């Protein structure tokens, strides 16, 4: 049986991530999306639409709300003439 402390030769310093530099932190802040005001909406949708949105979200590794937002953005672009 291996000695328990053998893999932890660096002690607690190996468990703590090194702090990020100021430059790295500013790059992370710049990459974030602007915050939009959100509203809650309860609605019923076809199971087919929900299944497709869920499949897309899983394949793209995003939330289902993000895939729905992308689909709605595309729809609004297509129907922009009605929004004027």
The predicted-structure confidence for 24-67, as pLDDT tens digits, reads as follows: 655 655 566 677 787 888 889 999 999 999 999 999 999 998 99
Rounded CA-CA distance 6/50 in Å is 51
Place of tokens 């709605």: 72
CA distances for 1 relative to 6, 29, 47, angstroms: 11, 47, 54
Q: Which of 43, 39, 46, 69 is nearest to 56 (CA)?
A: 69
Whether pLDDT at 80 is above 70: yes
Residue 18 pLDDT grade (very low, low, confident, very high; cuts 50, 70, 90): low
Q: What letters, b where the CB count within 10 A reaches 16 and e where it falls short, cover 37-47?
A: eeeeeeeeeee
Q: For residues 64 and 52, is the Cβ–Cβ distance under 8 A?
A: no
Q: Which tokens belong to 4?
A: 């328990």
């Amino acid at each position: 049986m291996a000695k328990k402390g053998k893999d932890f030769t660096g002690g607690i310093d190996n468990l703590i991530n090194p702090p990020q530099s100021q430059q790295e932190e500013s790059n992370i802040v710049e990459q974030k999306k602007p915050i939009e005001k959100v509203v809650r909406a309860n609605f019923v949708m076809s199971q087919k639409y929900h299944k497709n949105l869920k499949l897309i979200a899983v394949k793209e590794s995003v939330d289902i709300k993000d895939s729905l937002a992308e689909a709605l953005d595309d729809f609004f672009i297509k129907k922009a003439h009605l929004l004027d």
